């Protein structure tokens, strides 16, 4: 599932998506003299677990559990 696919400038693009149970980000720079690409991915379960640690309380934990299962389907 594509979340963001945006042209940041005439030479740069950003793409963020959820695929294969991972949150994936890539940025591409394509200029006349320099080309570069940066990409990173993080396991969606790991990301959600780390996010849950930052939110106090336990009510959100049930929501995150459902979200983790849903993201595995993408």
Query: What is the pTM assigned to this prediction?
Result: 0.75
Q: Percentage of the chain surpassing pLDDT 90?
A: 66
Residue 44 CB-half CA count within 13 A: 21
Burial zone of 41 (CB within 10 Å; 0-12 exposed, 13-18 middle, 19+ buried): middle
* pLDDT value, residue 14: 98
* pLDDT value, residue 57: 83
Contacts of 64 (CB under 8 A, 6+ apart): 48, 49, 51, 52
Residue 40 pLDDT greater than 90, yes or no: yes
């Amino acid at each position: 599932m594509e979340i963001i696919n945006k042209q940041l400038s005439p030479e740069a693009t950003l793409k963020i998506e959820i695929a294969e149970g991972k949150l994936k980000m890539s940025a591409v720079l394509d200029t006349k003299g320099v080309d570069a690409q940066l990409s990173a991915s993080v396991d969606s379960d790991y990301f959600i677990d780390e996010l849950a640690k930052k939110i106090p309380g336990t009510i959100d934990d049930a929501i995150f559990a459902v979200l983790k299962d849903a993201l595995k389907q993408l």
